[in-house]
């Protein structure tokens, strides 16, 4: 087990986990969450379901792929512990990924066992959806950091970061808020599908509408505010932490924000078809991954300049640019 190959495993585990997340959204969007009944980890009481329905097949596939993702993250942790020395940030990232994968499985099991699936429209389900979304984003963030550190990224330093640290923190928190409102809006779209855009808008503002529909309007408002902030913050961060990597990540953040805004508008106009919900979620995950990497790069410890000559001078220049 070598450090050189560790990043390949981390990249594969992250990519596979993204696929599992998208399939989980497909489970919710198609109302297949009750495909295995209120049984977990078995499916309708069986380890392998017999003559499964379409909903059972969809839900069971999600459970199988989730189990594979769990094993991949476990393998990533074992590899990190063997390939990197004590205190290396890749170890911390792999350990955090494992803990969050365990809590992800626990939240998923809780949703099934408590029957917050299919056509349930309770406030408790909305709360569990919010918790699930936050845990999923934190898991993806931890796995992204593990990959970043495995590729040689420097340890993150939180103290003494000044305005750059505040900009990064607000950006990450803002995206989490948008994610939570998006999860609630998606649940409302699934449970109370509108026949037209006019009908959907009328649902949102009707005083007698279900609370999920009344909350749905929060998502475009939060998304607009946070998107404008991200377009500002990514440039301000790049100006304070000048490096080629930070510049590239800043540009990528802007591009993904604009793509996500466009996808959100189209999603609204087309009344949230399942395929576009998945595209919207994928863009959200990619934006989160780029933003997390931007945060890690901008808040990384300065490079150590311990050698003399051209290489030492280059390291000094990078350290000054990074910490400036």
pLDDT in tens, 40-75: 989 988 999 987 899 999 999 999 999 999 999 999
Q: Are residues 119 and 174 in the same domain?
A: no
Spatial CA neighbour of 103 closest among 142, 144, 158: 142
pTM of the model: 0.90
Preceding amide of 158 cis, omega within 30: no
**Domain interval for residue 286:** 162-324
Q: Label each residue of the chain as H, E or C.
A: CCHHHHHHHHHHHHHHHHHHHHHHHHHHHCCCCCCCCCCCCCECCECCCCCCCHHHHHHHHHHHHHHHHHHHHHHHHHHHHHHCCCCCHHHHHHHHHHHHHHHHHHHHHHHHHCCCCCCCCCHHHHHHHHHHHHHHHHHHHHHHHHHHHHCCCCCECCCCCHHHHHHHHHHHHHHHHHHHHHHHHHHHHHHCCCCCHHHHHHHHHCCCCCHHHHHHCHHHHHHHHHHHHHHHHHHHHHHHCCCHHHHHHHHHHHHHHHHHHHHHHHHHHCCCCHHHHHHHHHHHHHHHHHHHHHHHHHCECCCCCCCCHHHHHHHHHHHHHHHC
Overall average pLDDT of the 21-27 stretch: 96
Average pLDDT over residues 14-34: 95
Domain boundary among 153, 188, 213: 153
**Residue 204's pLDDT band (cuts 50, 70, 90):** confident
pLDDT at 143: 98
Grade residue 4 by pLDDT with cuts at 50, 70 and 90. confident
Could you tell me if 279 and 144 lie in one domain? Answer: no
Together in a domain, 174 and 114: no
Report the DSSP beta bridge partners of residue 46.
43
pLDDT at 313 over 50: no
Dig out the tokens for 270 from the structure: 């087309």
- Same domain for 58 and 119, yes or no, is yes
pLDDT at 1: 65
Together in a domain, 233 and 179: yes
Is the pLDDT at 172 greater than 60? The verdict is yes
Which pLDDT band holds residue 2 (cuts at 50, 70, 90)?
confident
Q: Are residues 241 and 123 in the same domain?
A: no
C-beta separation of 60 from 52 below 8 A? yes
Cα separation, 312 vs 324, in Å, equals 18
Judge if 180 and 282 occupy the same domain: yes
What does the mean pLDDT of the chain come to? 91
Strand partners, 300: 156
Q: Are residues 77 and 174 in the same domain?
A: no
Q: Is the pLDDT of residue 308 over 80?
A: no
At residue 129, the pLDDT reads 95
45 dihedral zone (left: phi>0; alpha: psi -120 to 50; beta): left
- Tell me which of 87, 122, 153 is where a domain ends: 153
* 143 Cβ contact partners less than 8 Å away, ≥ 6 residues apart: 10, 13, 14, 17, 73, 76, 93, 97
Q: Is 238 in the same domain as 315?
A: yes
Number of domains in the chain: 2
Q: What is residue 304's predicted lDDT score, i.e. its pLDDT?
A: 56
Q: What is the pLDDT of residues 239-253, one digit of tens each?
A: 999 899 999 999 999
Q: Which of 121, 153, 185 is a domain's end point?
A: 153
Verify that 308 and 168 share a domain, yes or no: yes
23 shares its domain with 118: yes
Q: Are residues 10 and 119 in the same domain?
A: yes
């Amino acid at each position: 087990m070598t450090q050189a190959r560790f990043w390949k495993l981390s990249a594969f585990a992250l990519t596979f986990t993204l696929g599992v997340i998208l399939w989980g959204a497909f489970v919710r969007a198609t109302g297949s969450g009750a495909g295995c009944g209120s049984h977990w980890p078995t499916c309708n009481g069986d380890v392998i379901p017999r003559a499964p329905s379409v909903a059972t097949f969809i839900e069971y596939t999600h459970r199988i792929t989730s189990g594979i993702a769990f094993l991949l993250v476990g393998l990533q942790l074992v590899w990190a512990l063997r390939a990197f020395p004590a205190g290396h940030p890749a170890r911390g990232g792999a350990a955090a990924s494992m803990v969050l994968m365990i809590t992800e499985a626990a939240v998923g099991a809780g949703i099934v066992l408590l029957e917050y699936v299919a056509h349930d429209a309770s406030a408790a389900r909305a709360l569990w959806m919010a918790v699930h979304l936050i845990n999923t984003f934190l898991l993806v963030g931890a796995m992204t950091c593990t990959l970043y550190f495995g590729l040689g990224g420097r340890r993150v330093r939180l103290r003494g970061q000044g305005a750059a640290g505040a900009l990064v923190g607000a950006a990450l928190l803002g995206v989490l808020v948008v994610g939570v409102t998006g999860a609630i809006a998606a649940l409302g779209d699934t449970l109370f599908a509108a026949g037209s855009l006019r009908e959907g808008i009328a649902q949102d503002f009707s005083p007698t509408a279900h609370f999920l529909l009344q909350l749905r309007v929060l998502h475009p408002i939060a998304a607009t505010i946070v998107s404008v902030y991200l377009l500002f913050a990514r440039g301000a961060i790049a100006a304070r932490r000048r490096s080629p990597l930070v510049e590239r990540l800043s540009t990528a953040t802007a591009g993904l924000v604009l793509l996500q805004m466009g996808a959100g508008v189209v999603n609204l106009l087309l009344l949230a078809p399942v395929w576009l919900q998945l595209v919207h979620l994928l863009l959200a995950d990619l934006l989160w991954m780029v933003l997390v990497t931007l945060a890690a790069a901008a808040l990384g410890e300065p490079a150590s300049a311990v050698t003399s000559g051209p290489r030492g001078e280059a390291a000094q220049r990078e350290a000054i640019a990074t910490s400036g």
